[in-house]
Amino acid sequence: EPEVTQTPSHQVTQMGQEVILRCVPISNHLYFYWYRQILGQKVEFLVSFYNNEISEKSEIFDDQFSVERPDGSNFTLKIRSTKLEDSAMYFCASSQTWGGSNQPQHFGDGTRLSIL
């Protein structure tokens, strides 16, 4: 069964540095998402992306965050100047159609981001 793959599995970064988290969504999927899960807390929506633009974002997704689909396969999340509170597990997801339809989102295994 096709999978969403995320790299790296664990990223350790100094506070203030930029970090890029990478995802390869399922190949025939058109909608892409990032979520994060701070340790011990619920999974929270960050952003959704379709047709090379952001379709929806949460209040967490402020100006330090950006997303990009640089080629036909990768989907990246960039955090420009990391803060301690950005430490979390970041999940990428993809779906064939938009999230409010009857096609579920498939998740990757996540990237654990640790900010020192």
Partner 1 sequence: AQSVTQPDIHITVSEGASLELRCNYSYGATPYLFWYVQSPGQGLQLLLKYFSGDTLVQGIKGFEAEFKRSQSSFNLRKPSVHWSDAAEYFCAVAGRGANNLFFGTGTRLTVIP
Nearer to partner 1 by C-beta: 33 or 65?
33
- DSSP assignment of 39-101, as one string? TTS-EEEEEEEETTEEEEE-TT--TTEEEE--SSS-EEEEESS--GGG-EEEEEEEESS-TTS
Closest by CA position to 46, among listed 38, 58, 56, 54: 58
Output the smallest distance, CB 45 to partner 1, in A: 4
Output the smallest distance, CB 3 to partner 1, in A: 9
Closest by CA position to 92, among listed 114, 71, 64, 113: 113
> What is the binding site for partner 1 (CB under 8 A)?
4, 6, 31, 33, 35, 41-45, 48, 55-56, 58, 91, 93, 98-102, 104-110
Nearer to partner 1 by C-beta: 13 or 112?
112
Output the smallest distance, CB 42 to partner 1, in A: 5
Output the smallest distance, CB 62 to partner 1, in A: 16
Nearer to partner 1 by C-beta: 56 or 96?
56
Nearer to partner 1 by C-beta: 9 or 81?
9
Closest by CA position to 97, among listed 48, 54, 35: 48
